[in-house]
Amino acid sequence: MDQTPDQPAQPDPPRPAIYKDLPLLQLTALTFVLDQFTKFLVRELLELRESFPAEGFFRFTHTFNTGSAFGLFQDQNFALILASIAGITVLTLIYQSQRRPTNLLRLSLGLQLGGAAGNLLDRLRMGHVTDFVDVGPWPIFNLADASIVVGLILLVWIFISPGQAREQAEPQAETTPGNGETPALAHTDAEVCESREESTPASPESPDPQPQDASPASEDQELPRRSDTPQAGE
């Protein structure tokens, strides 16, 4: 079967721009607004170190944190500002690296971007982050911290999931410029045509020669043989 000449490689589709992804931007803005609104309510309604209720496993306790999550890197405000900017940049690059961002990826990045922006604004305005969610012995945190942690868990799940790896490895179908078929479809049609040609019977216009009914040698065998022995009376 004749080999089909190689088609020129199709250019890769343009990468999506994050500023054009409306669902991702809406989720980021919603996370950011909820974080800032809850911090504002805590600062207005609770005095510093005050808790509501006064006792219990789950409380709202007004406090602040000059470090990162879990009280690490205390009084390192400038370094943490740079780390927040670097984190936002990395998340943006992760989005740009995807050909077709999924809704789960949008959810993960939206939570992390909104949380990182909320804590970054606190550090720029006040030099510290307002915390208020007090759960048992766990360190006090805020909605931005919770959003970042949940988004990070989702991001890890996306990249270690077998379905995600299969989707990344699956090549996209490219259209052939000549007839508008994909290479896979064209190859399938060629195989079907070849199998039909092999299964087609011979044409009735060229019948096979029929064998002769009798050969001359068979006729001679049917004649009585002449005897060379002289008969009596000759």
Active site residue 228: no
The predicted model gives 176-188 an average pLDDT of 45
Active site residue 220: no
The predicted model gives 8-17 an average pLDDT of 67
Contacts 24+ apart (CB under 8 A), 78-81: 80/123, 81/120, 81/123, 81/124
Distance separating alpha carbons of residues 51 and 57, to the nearest angstrom: 12
Please give the full DSSP string across 35-69, using - where no structure is assigned. Answer: HHHHHHHHHHHS-TT-EESSSSSEEEEEEEESSSG
Q: What is the pTM of this model?
A: 0.65
Catalytic residue among 35, 122, 131, 134: 131
Query: pLDDT tens, 13-28?
Result: 677 788 899 999 999 9
pLDDT exceeds 90 at position 120: yes
Q: How confident is the model at residue 99 (pLDDT cuts 50, 70, 90)?
A: confident
pLDDT exceeds 50 at position 218: no
What is the structure's pLDDT at 76? 82
Catalytic residue among 35, 122, 134, 145: 145
